[in-house]
Structure 1
Amino acid sequence: MIMSMEDKVEILAIDVPVVTPNTSCEEVYHLFQEDQDLLAVTVLEDGQPIGLAHRTDLTLALADRFGYSLYARKPISTLITEAPLIVDASNSIDFLSNMLAYDATHALQKGFIICRGSEYVGVGTAISLLQASIERTRRRAEELQKAKTIAIQANKSKSAFLANMNHELRTPLNAIIGFTEMIQKEAYGPIPQKEYREYVDIVNSSGNHLLNVINAILDMSKIEAGKMEMREQECDIFDLVGQISRMMTSAAGKKNITLDLDLPDDLPDLCCDPTMIRQVLLNLISNAIKFSPEDTTVSLTTRMTDCGNLCISVRDQGVGISKENIKAVLKPFFQVDGDLNRSQEGTGLGLSIVKAYLELHQARLDIESELGQGTNITVTFPSGRVVCTEEACCGLEAAALAE
């Protein structure tokens, strides 16, 4: 890191009077008398610092009984602090602060000499260090404020861009998807060449994929901006899972994957935003199918805990996730490396959106996984969101008694 001059010890140097070792104590005392703010005087011999003469030490020595008569005519070398701390001017203030705090605490009281190589520069004190620290804190606060202002402006620009992209990209994409679907259905006549049908299918699937990517990015931007609104209502989880199962049947069938649903008939309703929870379960099941090999099983189970929480688990027999990546997969745009993983399309936003939607519902997301052993993801909704009907509550009480 390149240091600015303001970050170096050199700025702490105070220009104080310089005397020789033979200067009398009386002369040095007069220097202190002439400048009430002067705390120390540097003693140089042949241009090299050999010590510091301190106001307090000299005053106490001269004020002692017979002190003036003993020391007034003697050279100042008899009362100086020998072997003072000498710091190179090119060192950083942080380096000096650490040294003073742990290795040379005495220099905070006595001061220290600053040199540039062999050249004497001046004297540093605890006061000059404090003043420099205050100034650096002020400058850093200004820099942080500037960075915050820039970040706010960048966020506004991003929001404006995303709002524009919402219209400029979604509108033509919807047109592409709509017209290709009409061609697929041969609404105005049959398609003579089978190659054209294949091309239309590719255009349609590519358009849908791109639209899903755009929707995911826009949803994530709303979540990060805190503008995602919930429309809560009582939702029948049994029916919702049934809808999702039907939606994912085709994707599972392409890989000969079995969807195994375990749903009690007396499952209580959930107070939630059904659109968000539908997207949560779609993302979880879609990921389970995507990262599972052919001829395996993806299972979805629901259960009620003793404390009234509703748990929904999605388990697959796929590639799994390493322990070090379990937390990382919840971060936006993160994608696990691996042959099967990298061959799949996606933005890396699926689980991060799931996590954000669940946090809005005060729900918890737990991931249990091991490489090559599949993944089990459990969503736990708090009891406060469970709408317990009389029939469901009786079932829960009976189950609790049976245990």
Structure 2
Amino acid sequence: MSDFEADDNGSDTFPPADIATMALGLCSPVYIAGTDGVIRYSNKAFNDIFRRSDGHPLRRISPRLLSALRRSSAPIRQRESVEIDGRKRTLSGRHVKLAGHGGDTLVGVYDDQTIETELRAALGTVKERSDELLSTVSDWVWQTDTDWTIVHSVTRDIGTDIETCAELTGRSLFDIGQFRPASGRRPPTLRTRAPFRDVLFVLERPAGGERIYLLSGIPVFDAEAGGFQGFRGSGTDVTERLAAEERAGAYRLELEQALTELTATNARLDGALAQARDADRAKSLFLGMIGHELRTPLNAIIGFSEVMSDELFGPIGRPEYKDYAADVLQSGRHLLSIINDILDVVKLEAGEMMVQADRFDPSETISAGIRLLSLQAENKQISLDQDIAEDFPVLFADEQKLRQMIINLLSNAVKFTNKGGRVTISGHRSPQGEAVVTVTDNGIGIDSANIESLLQPFKQADDRLSRSFEGTGLGLPLTRSLIELHGGRLEIDSALGVGTTVRLVFPADRVDPT
């Protein structure tokens, strides 16, 4: 590490011809170099200190020093730190460019300032420790005579608005303030001759207001005669501390009151939460019980109506009866689907729904969903298409749950798409390696403000829609829960009057890498 600067003081008048003889005889490190930076002469002291990494003497001065010497006509001073025999040495170099008959010559002489540097560092440490010690001195050091008249006073700042501590001299301690009892400590009186410690003393300020100190004092007696001579003591300014303690006490009281209120509120909330959990549990149990109780007779109704509709045991007479049986069959299947959705929601809320993962091709599941919804789409003259990318991957997932998700999304898309509309289901692999199934329609669309409510069970985007479109509002919430069981996510983009796009995103760890 080195620093150098031009030195405009002094002059060098000795001729270059005598430089080598003078330099080599000095005890200080000296070098003589040409304007090319190559060292021509150097004494033993210089060679012992400045060496190359291979141990040989330095042959050139540094390019930075050479550049500085070329630019400056005045001597240059340089400070440099080197390590010699494991000890850090500080050298001060003085470098000059001398003119001679054969051209300019560069000369450098170094002084060892290690001891000076170490002394300065030691003095700095001593000063730092002294400052630390002084910072621990009491705010006020005082001495009184036998009548409590102040005869000596030293302070950093006692906040009395008195210009100098000397102005306290000659005034009684009892005149400039008053002692107050605190914490069982008895304050001193004019007749006190015993030591006292940490007694509150209120110093009255001439400009108004007061400062509060903790004073401690010990009696002083004549060493020879033993007569009482007064007190010596010190004081610590505790004005801010006491004010802070008072504020803290007020805050603590407020906090205790707030904590009491908060505890009572938490108790009420815990009771309400317990009631809500009990009600939710009762609701789930009720729905599960009703669902199972309804499914048994409903399956019988579906079975009998299917037999009657297909006339498995022969004609049933009038054609209207066959149509009625078909209507009963369709309504029964629809009701069974609703009951199954409700039971699935109950299982999901209870944490009983599990993923049975298998390796399968999801494009076949998509095709099956298309076939299942094709008749419903055909009745509304809706175009139902699929677009499966070539890189659409094989999945490790629950195929039955994927089928359920696809049917829910396609059913919603067909339901909320007007006559002559279009519904497309596609599959592709994202740049992040995820498998994405997308259902897009150009139906009535959803207001973005209502999308979140659609993901809550038994909710629809607009209650008025429930009068035009059948359904319980379980499709999207159930689908989101099922995709989240796979570690994936459900994404919805929609605009009123434009259409809706819903994406099922399976994470990369559900994708077969082959």
Q: TM-score, normalised by structure 1?
A: 0.64
Alignment partner of 1:309 out of 434, 459, 463? 434
Distance change (3 Å), C-alpha of 1:213 and 1:110: same
8 Å Cα contact 1:291-1:341 kept in structure 2: no
Structure 1, unpaired ranges of 5+ = 1-31, 37-58, 68-78, 80-105, 112-123, 390-403
8 Å Cα contact 2:357-2:398 kept in structure 1: yes
Q: CA deviation at 1:149?
A: 3.0
1:174-218 Cα deviation digits (max 9, x unpaired): 111111111101122212222222322222222222222211111
Q: Who is 1:202 aligned against?
A: 327
1:5-53 Cα deviation digits (max 9, x unpaired): xxxxxxxxxxxxxxxxxxxxxxxxxxx99x99xxxxxxxxxxxxxxxxx
8 Å Cα contact 1:319-1:374 kept in structure 2: yes
Q: Who is 1:288 aligned against?
A: 413
Distance change (3 Å), C-alpha of 1:246 and 1:128: same
Q: CA deviation at 1:245?
A: 1.2
1:192-249 Cα deviation digits (max 9, x unpaired): 2222223222222222222222111111121122211110111211211111111111
Q: Who is 2:106 aligned against?
A: none
Pairing 1:261–2:386 present: yes
| C-alpha distance in 2 between matches for 1:363 and 1:382 | 5
Query: Which structure has the bigger radius of gyration?
Result: 2
Aligned residue for 2:336, secondary structure, equals: helix
Q: Who is 1:167 aligned against?
A: 292
8 Å Cα contact 1:268-1:386 kept in structure 2: yes
Aligned 1:85-104 pairs, distance under 5 A: none
Distance change (3 Å), C-alpha of 1:269 and 1:64: closer
| C-alpha distance in 2 between matches for 1:336 and 1:212 | 21
1:72-127 Cα deviation digits (max 9, x unpaired): xxxxxxx9xxxxxxxxxxxxxxxxxxxxxxxxxx9x9589xxxxxxxxxxxx9555
Pairing 1:273–2:366 present: no
| C-alpha distance in 1 between matches for 2:413 and 2:338 | 18
Instruction: Tell me the percent identity.
Output: 39
The root-mean-square deviation of aligned C-alpha atoms, in Å, is 3.1
Q: Who is 1:179 aligned against?
A: 304
Pairing 1:154–2:279 present: yes
8 Å Cα contact 2:359-2:396 kept in structure 1: yes
**Structure that is richer in helix per residue:** 1
Pairing 1:231–2:356 present: yes
Q: Who is 1:370 aligned against?
A: 495
Q: Who is 1:47 aligned against?
A: none
| C-alpha distance in 1 between matches for 2:325 and 2:310 | 11
Distance change (3 Å), C-alpha of 1:128 and 1:310: closer
Counterpart code for 1:134:
L
8 Å Cα contact 1:364-1:379 kept in structure 2: yes
- Bigger mean CA deviation after superposition, 157-166 or 274-283: 157-166
Pairing 1:322–2:418 present: no
Aligned 1:67-82 pairs, distance under 5 A: none
| C-alpha distance in 2 between matches for 1:289 and 1:66 | 89
Q: Who is 1:333 aligned against?
A: 458
Distance change (3 Å), C-alpha of 1:234 and 1:199: same
| C-alpha distance in 2 between matches for 1:356 and 1:205 | 27
Aligned residue for 1:326, secondary structure, equals: helix
Aligned residue for 2:487, secondary structure, equals: coil
| C-alpha distance in 1 between matches for 2:429 and 2:251 | 65
| C-alpha distance in 2 between matches for 1:267 and 1:126 | 64
| C-alpha distance in 2 between matches for 1:109 and 1:159 | 55
Structure 2, unpaired ranges of 5+ = 1-179, 185-198, 211-242
Q: CA deviation at 1:266?
A: 5.6
Counterpart code for 2:395:
L
Relative contact order higher in (CA < 8 Å, ≥ 6 apart): 1
